[in-house]
Amino acid sequence: MSLDTADVAQHVREILSSNNIGQRLFARHVLGLSQGTVSELLSKPKHWDKLTEKGRDSYRRMHQWIRDGGNVAALKAYAPKKGTGSGGTLRRSFFIVLYFLIRLGHILKMTHQGAARNRYGR
């Protein structure tokens, strides 16, 4: 069976985009590949005849995934919810607050040193 890789890639991109599913999640749970590899497969699909068996297998899996509508819901269940999971909004917020606390400490230290210089005439 020969597949139109450009059509499969376009369809997958549309599904991922319309359902707010990241390529990393799709790559890991559907294809077992890295996000970079999947990005390449989706953005620069090669003609079927130019693919290795491994490349063809990836497009076959994508095609199967497209055909089963329940797969989108199943994949969305793996997506980390906002504020939870690794790399989520909560972690980013923590580091932003930490950065500003460090900057504030630095500013207060500099202000205190400046006031001490003025007080003691240094």
Q: 55-83, pLDDT tens digit by residue? A: 999 999 999 999 887 888 888 877 776 65
DSSP 47: P
Q: Tens of pLDDT along 6-56?
A: 999 999 999 999 988 999 999 998 999 999 999 999 999 999 999 999 999
Burial call 70-79: b when 16+ CB within 10 Å, e when fewer: ebbeebeeee
Instruction: Identify the pLDDT of residue 51.
Output: 96
pTM for this structure? 0.64
Scan for tokens 């790399």, then name that residue: 87
What is the rounded distance in angstroms from the CA atom of residue 2 to the CA atom of residue 59?
Answer: 10
27: Cβ contacts below 8 Å, ≥ 6 apart: 33, 34, 35, 37, 38
23: Cβ contacts below 8 Å, ≥ 6 apart: 16, 35, 38, 39, 42
Q: Tens of pLDDT along 101-116?
A: 666 776 777 777 766 6
